[in-house]
Amino acid sequence: MTLSYAEKIGQDLVDLGYLRLIGAVGKAFANSSVFNYQWTKKSYALAGREVSVNRTDTLISQAKEVPYVGEMIGSWMGSGAIEGESQKDRLKREARESEKAYKDAVFKADRLRCRLEEAMMEHLAYMEKCELDRLKAVKAVLLDISASLSNIIPGIQASVDNMLLYQETIQPEKDLRFIVESYRTGDFVPKVLVYENYYNSGEGQTFGVDVELRARADHKRVPSIVSGILMHLDERTTSLLQR
C-alpha cells in the first residue's frame, strides 16, 4: 500500500460517484488538506447506512439529490472531448471554436445592420418621392384653379393674382428639404460591430485595425485594401487621360 496507490483509490471513488469535491470545480482527487471531500448518498446506500444530517442540512436531506455545482461545471467542461485528445489540445480546440462562433455572430449582426439600413434608406427615399409628388400636385392644382377662375369670373382677378403669386412660392424641392430638416426625429447613427480577434492577428477585421497588423495578415508590405484603392485610382486616371 503506497501513497500513489491510495490516491488512485481516491480518484476511483470520485469517478464512480462515491466521493465528491466540495468548494472547488472538477473531479480530480488530490492528497492535500486544501481540498475537502464528502461521501455521497450512493456510498451510504452501498454501505447500508442512512445519511446523518444536522439541523442545517434538514432541507437538503429532504429534497431530491441535486448535482453539486462543481460537478455540473466539471461535466460541462468535460463534454465534447475527443478520445485520445489531451487537455491542452482540447482547450485549444475549444478556444478556436469559441473564436469562430464569436466571429460568425459579429458578421451576422453586421449583415443585419446593413440590411436594416438599406431597408430604411429605400423606405425613406420612397417617402420623399411621395412627398415631392404631392407638393408638385398641389402646385399644379393651384395653377389650374387660378387659370379656370380667371377665365370664368373676371371680377375676382385680384384674388386670382394672389393665388398665382402663392403657387409661385411653392418650390417642391426646397419645401421637401425644409420638411426633412425641420421635422426629423433625430440623427441616425448606426453603431458598427467590430470583430476583435483574440489573438490580435487582424484576421477578418475591417474597422479600427492597425495598418501593420492588416499588412502582416495579408503577407504584404501594404494592406490589400489600400493597394486595391490605389490601383483603381490609377486605372481611372489612365482611362480619363486617354479620353
What's the CA gap between 187 and 130, in Å, rounded?
A: 22
Task: Provide the terminal-to-terminal Cα distance of the chain, rounded to the nearest Å.
Answer: 96
In this structure, what C-alpha cell is assigned to residue 171?
418650390
Question: How far, in Å, CA of 71 to CA of 40, rounded?
Answer: 12
pLDDT at 153: 65
**CA atoms of 7 and 240, how far apart (whole Å):** 82
> What's the CA gap between 217 and 111, in Å, rounded?
23
Q: For 178-235, what is each residue's pLDDT tens digit? A: 877 777 666 667 777 777 777 666 666 666 667 777 777 777 888 787 888 999 999 9
The rounded percent of the chain whose pLDDT value lies above 90 is 2
Cell of 83: 478520445
CB 53 within 8 A of CB 60: yes
Give 88-115 pLDDT, tens digit per residue: 888 888 888 888 888 888 888 888 888 9
Q: Which tens digits make up the pLDDT trace of 33-87?
A: 767 888 888 888 887 777 665 544 444 444 444 455 555 555 555 555 666 778 8
Residues 6+ away with beta carbon under 8 Å from 28 = 11, 14, 21
Helix (H, G, I), strand (E, B) or coil at 109: helix
Q: With b meaning 16 or more CB within 10 Å and e meaning fewer, what string describes 52-61?
A: eeeeeeeeee
Residue 219 Rama label (left phi>0; alpha psi -120 to 50; beta): left
Residues 209/202, Cβ–Cβ less than 8 Å: yes
Q: How much is the mean pLDDT over the chain?
A: 75
- Rg over CA atoms, the chain: 38
Residue 131 reports pLDDT greater than 80: yes
pLDDT of residue 232: 92
